[in-house]
Amino acid sequence: MRKGRIDYRMRRRAVLRDVREGLTSCDDVRDAHPDLLRAASHIGTATREPCPLCDVHTLTHVDYVFEGKGARTPSGRAVPRETVAAHADRIGDLQVYVVEVCLGCHWHHLVESYLHEARDTDAIHG
């Protein structure tokens, strides 16, 4: 079950506005980490949404999961979207961060985060 969804579109719009107005260099927002790019091309979820920066390629979403409520530790890892529920059922509640990436120009931004609750907590600890 999804809970506590946070949408980062406002922040994304602000970043894009800064780029358009020249307050932020294009290169500063096209610095996707090689690990993120690798995750995007191997286990990412393709979208039909065009990249807001280059407008040539479409965006890919990468889901990062972190154990526990509100946790955001280096233990987070990218997992295929279709396995998030299974991970939650096995490990427990997961904080999920969805990042959009352009494999063309390397734009990346946080899209949303939410808590994915395990289906049956008793089953995990029992």
Q: Which residues of the chain form contacts with Zn ion (CB under 5 A)?
A: 51, 53-54, 57, 102, 104-105, 107
Task: Output 51 or 118, the one with its CB closest to Zn ion.
Answer: 51
Q: How far is CA 78 from CA 75, 82, 84, in A?
A: 10, 12, 10
Closest to Zn ion by CB, 30 or 81: 30
Least separation in angstroms between residue 50's CB and Zn ion is: 8
Q: Name the residue nearer to Zn ion (CB basis): 12 or 57.
A: 57
Helix, strand or coil, per DSSP, at residue 61: strand
CB 90 within 8 A of CB 124: yes
Minimum Å distance from CB 104 to Zn ion? 5
Overall size of the chain counted in residues: 126
